[in-house]
Structure 1
Amino acid sequence: MRRFLISCLSGVGLSCLIGAASFSQGSPETNTLSGYSQTSSLETGDSVTEDLSIDDERVDGVLSFPRAEKFFSPWFDWKKRLNDKTGLKLQFSLQSSHQEVNRSLGETNAAGGRFQLQGSWVLVGRGTKNEGQLTFRLENRTTLGTPIPPTSLAYQYGGVKPSGGFSDFGTALTEFAWRQSLFDGKFRFVGGKISALSWYNGHALSSSLRGFQNLALQSSLTKPSPGRGFGAGVAYEITPHFGVVAGIHDANAKTADNPFDTIGKREFYHSIEFRYWPTTPDRRRWDVVRLQFWHQDKLKEKGIPASQGVTFLASRLFDDKWFPFVIAGYSDGNASLMKSDMTVGLGISLNTKHRVSNDALAFAVNWGQPSNKLLRDQITSEVFYRFTLAQNVVITPSIQWVKNPAASTAFDDVITAGLRLRLTF
């Protein structure tokens, strides 16, 4: 089986995160800022290609600043001319997250910031279904006035699941990859420094920047979670309703480190995921069933034996408003945080009437059984409300509730309040 699991990155379909505006389809070019049309990305969550298209949507906010929008319009016009002339898309973003817990064995506050410069450059087949493009992301992650970042806050009360995707590794090139489509886009491959997480078992709210902050609610934690490093993948759309994605990643990769430092160990994370889309191609990001099988080699220096597992995900969008999803996973070995887990959730698009955009309300609950038998089962839940304050400025307050923190019996439950800000340009 592991010989067949050759690539983990490129996938088939529009599986990506829910846009900033609503659960309905992306805006036409006339409602974009720089004319970046919606792409058929293969990832969920932390995706360069989806960030470029979703963040370019023109979305009305609670507040309106016509003079400011007029002031910045030449910037977006320049980005459109650059793309039309050279095929290069650029995007900058600033985001911050602050979290506070009501009970802790140590720190009670954590705040982090992320700055990202990312883009895609179509160098082959521009304007066709068989484009070849270079994607890249340079980012800086840091704490904001607190001793620890949000990724470390849960450990302060004995939790084992990070309560946020904001770390503090400094500045790093976190993606540099070539993506190629062939046979009218039905076959794709990708290779380079890429994520091993966002390609599998993700749903439309799997994003630390737009969706759930707690990683347990983004995908199953029964699969391994190596950092961004060298990887490659292939995908094939067998029919309009069925596709397969396969990939291989450096199992020892660390996002901020030099990928050449670990690839020489030749210890890999292999994965294959089968995808079924029950409705039309334009709804693939929401209406999808995923079944993943994975295997990870023995990690000699870390003392982790060879491991394998399976994950499942199903989601569906009803009436462009209701978005239920379910996730489950099981693993054999100690390569992953959880031996088994299950998540159920619901996203709701709220019609605000007084403005174009819809707000997003979502909640989910997760049960997880740690791979370490000395730890107790943990229940994790989160509710968030995402709204556009002004054009290109999105605010998301959230509340997380953890029952029975797995690594400590000091507390029976802990509440984490969070506030996330995202600015794009």
Structure 2
Amino acid sequence: MLCRSLSAASVLVCLACSAFAQGLGGPSSVEADLQPGDGLTDPQFRSDFPVNVAPSYFEWKEGLAEQGFRFNLDYLALGQTTNSDLGEGNASGGIFRLYGSWQATDRGSLTFKLEDRHAYGDVAPQNLGFDAGALSITGTAFNDNGTLLTNLFWTQRAADGSWTLQFGILDVTDFLDIYGLVSPYTAFQNLAFNTNPTINAPNPGFGIAGGVKLGANYYLTASVADANADPSSPDLDVFSDGELFKSVEIGYTSGFDRVYFDNIHFTFWHADAADDGSRLEDYGASFSAAWFVGNKWMPFFRAGTSKGRAALYDKSVSMGLGYFARNTDLAGIGFNWAEANGISGDQKTIEAFYRFSISPNLQITPSIQYISDPLLATDKSSLTVFGLRARIVF
């Protein structure tokens, strides 16, 4: 089977090179999700489930992949509970995704992703932090926004991988300010440790993005996207409206086969004000440094600042450590300090998780988040959020 025949070293190359050879995506992108494993040395999987119960289906998928069409179906579920006496106290929801890519030409491909995001009860995990009194997104991506078209874009790339261009319906968080632990589907759940929470990143929508290598170790990426995007009702009115999100990023990597494993970068962004007054002009900058030591340890340091009112925080500093085990388990711990516009005080967040990989296609992730001095409940000293996430891929 494909999942068993790929060596871990080749998976690492496939994942990391995707930033320029296949697209601009990071760990939460379609390209990364289509690759099995984590790119670890000699991974040892506990099981082949669900490949072993539906071998014909997965062989059919492999046949399509050999013809240039790859796809996955996956389902993710997240349940969270908090000790706060405010709000509901519990939240749960799920995400069903169909995503893939078609290698139409030697240097061009079409990427797609269709999602259905739903809550099981009254509160979606993405809103539990607010409901409990913290200015915190404790369940990134697990909202109740319904059916969404989050990717439908064309990628064109140079034959030698020196540049990449994407245009269509993009999710800028797939490539903006990324590092190895950025994905809310496989790593941290709190936004403080995903895309920098000082960046007013737009919803997926029409945009153009590109990346170019600057020698053997440096790169530059840039994007222009719809600041008013609505993936539940996509349109192409972005440039006629003239309300845009723009970003530029310059980074350093040890080699383009490890571009988001060993990565140091600066990101600069700007979002136009909305003509109807619903959004003021925003702009800011962020810094990220993460390094994959011995293909096991990933220490990281990330910081950002912004001017405006739309981003979650005005100032944010995060640091932490990830540990990748040979069976593709992943443990992570992170600390965040943040300040917000118009709210006095600061908020501190600690998240720890352990992703237990039953197989490359089935993962269970318990987590705990401790939020000190929650900014929306100044009479409380802290609150704790317990979570359990599951993901299965077909």
Q: TM-score if structure 2 supplies the norm length?
A: 0.90
Supply the AA of the counterpart residue of 1:103: S
Supply the AA of the counterpart residue of 2:282: S
Residues of 1 paired with 2:238 and 2:56: CA distance? 44
How many residues in Structure 1 have an aligned counterpart in Structure 2? 382
Question: Does the 8 Å CA contact 1:193/1:259 hold for their aligned counterparts?
Answer: no
Match of 1:377, SS state, is strand
Q: CA deviation at 1:342?
A: 0.4
Residues of 1 paired with 2:32 and 2:245: CA distance? 24
Specify the alignment match of 2:209 in structure 1: 233
Supply the AA of the counterpart residue of 1:172: L
Quick one: which of 316, 323, 347 aligns to 1:341? 316
Residues of 1 paired with 2:52 and 2:324: CA distance? 29
Specify the alignment match of 2:330 in structure 1: 360
Quick one: which of 69, 72, 97 aligns to 1:91? 72
Question: Does the 8 Å CA contact 2:245/2:270 hold for their aligned counterparts?
Answer: yes
Match of 2:172, SS state, is coil
Per-residue Cα deviation, 1:212-269 (whole angstroms, up to 9, x for no partner)? 0001111321111211111101111011201100111111113323234666432111
Residues of 1 paired with 2:279 and 2:52: CA distance? 56
Question: Does the 8 Å CA contact 1:394/1:423 hold for their aligned counterparts?
Answer: yes
Specify the alignment match of 2:6 in structure 1: 29
- Mapping 1:140-179, distance limit 5 Å: 140-144=116-120, 146-165=121-140, 166-179=142-155
- Mapping 1:270-349, distance limit 5 Å: 270-277=246-253, 279-349=254-324
The answer for unaligned runs of 5 or more in structure 2 is none
Match of 2:127, SS state, is helix
Q: Does 1:192 align with 2:182?
A: no
Match of 2:54, SS state, is helix
Specify the alignment match of 1:6 in structure 2: none
Specify the alignment match of 1:40 in structure 2: 18
- Mapping 1:258-273, distance limit 5 Å: 258-260=234-236, 264-273=240-249
Q: CA deviation at 1:46?
A: 2.5
Quick one: which of 21, 25, 31 aligns to 1:49? 31
Supply the AA of the counterpart residue of 1:270: K
Quick one: which of 228, 231, 252 aligns to 2:228? 252
Specify the alignment match of 1:408 in structure 2: 377
Residues of 1 paired with 2:346 and 2:4: CA distance? 43
Specify the alignment match of 1:118 in structure 2: 99
Question: Does the 8 Å CA contact 1:314/1:327 hold for their aligned counterparts?
Answer: yes
Q: CA deviation at 1:69?
A: 4.0
Residues 304-313 or 236-245, more deviating = 304-313
Question: Does the 8 Å CA contact 1:365/1:379 hold for their aligned counterparts?
Answer: yes
Q: Does 1:221 align with 2:197?
A: yes
Question: What is the aligned-residue RMSD (CA, Å)?
Answer: 2.5
Q: CA deviation at 1:374?
A: 2.8
Q: Work out which structure has the larger RCO, using CA pairs closer than 8 Å and 6 or more positions apart in sequence.
A: 1
Q: CA deviation at 1:281?
A: 2.7
Residues of 1 paired with 2:4 and 2:208: CA distance? 31
Q: CA deviation at 1:28?
A: 6.0
Question: Does the 8 Å CA contact 1:117/1:139 hold for their aligned counterparts?
Answer: yes
Supply the AA of the counterpart residue of 1:384: F
Residues of 1 paired with 2:4 and 2:268: CA distance? 35
Match of 2:174, SS state, is coil
Supply the AA of the counterpart residue of 2:244: F
Residues of 2 paired with 1:367 and 1:392: CA distance? 34
Residues 1:56 and 1:271: Cα distance change in structure 2 (over 3 Å): closer
Specify the alignment match of 1:77 in structure 2: 59
Question: Does the 8 Å CA contact 1:375/1:407 hold for their aligned counterparts?
Answer: no
Quick one: which of 377, 387, 391 aligns to 1:418? 387
